[in-house]
Homo-oligomer: A and B are copies of this chain.
Amino acid sequence: MPKQVDHRERRESIARALWRVVEQRGVAHLSLREVAQEAGISHGALQHYFASREAMLSFAMDFASEQATLRVGRGLQELGDRPHPRDVLRVMLTEMLPLHADARATSRMSAAYVLEALHNKTIHAQAHRGMAQGRVLVEQLVRQAIADGHIRPDRDPVTETNLLLALTGFTPLIELDVIEPQEALTAIDQYLDRLFTRNDHGQGQEAERSR
């Protein structure tokens, strides 16, 4: 049992080294050799944990999603019992943006594996699965919010879900310093206020009237 934990821990520390390589030196340097060097282990030792570049990348992607899920979970816990769906969506969206060191690492990994997916079917399938699962969660939330009267009943849940996920498009704008992180948060809040009935008085009243 402790041996298995060690194995897992070592794989995670290699995954973190891989993230640093992507972040500091770029995807072009994403080889077993470079990652071994960054992790401070020999090439041979790394091969004990990952047989191929693809296996390593695949684990690092899953680990990045897990870490993002954990961060969202912690954010949701802070919201207390029965949080408002607007606040739940805000946590989910903001944890996908490069707004602090951990989220930056997983966001950059995500951008790297979207590019890798373009010419690698295994990575494409894995990245598709992860993103599609996230999409299902958001759609469930949106449908429930419509059923509970938090979102106007005339909104289409599929389209609203797609628009919410598209807001991760703030990522390159933040990474290239075209907009400030605070501007992205302001825009997301503005967007959520308009989507949900409670803070948008014009639409809120309309929703009230239509009930």
Q: Tell whether, in the assembled complex, residue A187 and residue B166 are in contact, meaning their CB atoms are under 8 Å apart.
A: yes
Candidate in A27, A30, A117 with the most chain B CB atoms within 10 angstroms: A27
- Give the number of chain A interface residues (Cβ < 8 Å): 55
Q: How far is the CB of A163 from chain B (nearest CB, A)?
A: 5
Do the beta carbons of A124 and B159 come within 8 Å of each other? Answer: no
Is A118 a contact of B23 with CB atoms below 8 Å? yes
Residue of B nearest to A26 (CB): B119
Contact across chains for B26 and A190 when beta carbons are under 8 A apart: no
Q: What are 13 A-B interface contacts by the 8 Å CB criterion?
A: A27-B28, A28-B28, A111-B114, A124-B176, A128-B176, A132-B176, A135-B173, A135-B179, A159-B183, A162-B173, A165-B179, A166-B187, A194-B194
Quick check: is A12 within 8 A (CB to CB) of the other chain? Answer: no
Bound form: Cα–Cα A169–B166 in Å: 4
User: At the interface, yes or no: A150 with Cβ under 8 Å from chain B?
Assistant: no
Q: Are A171 and B169 in contact (CB under 8 A)?
A: yes
**Roughly how many angstroms separate A137 CA and B168 CA in the complex, as a whole number?**
21
CB neighbours of A26 from chain B (8 A): 27, 115-116, 118-120
Q: Is the CB of A162 within 8 A of B187?
A: yes
Chain B residue nearest to A156 (CB atoms) is B190
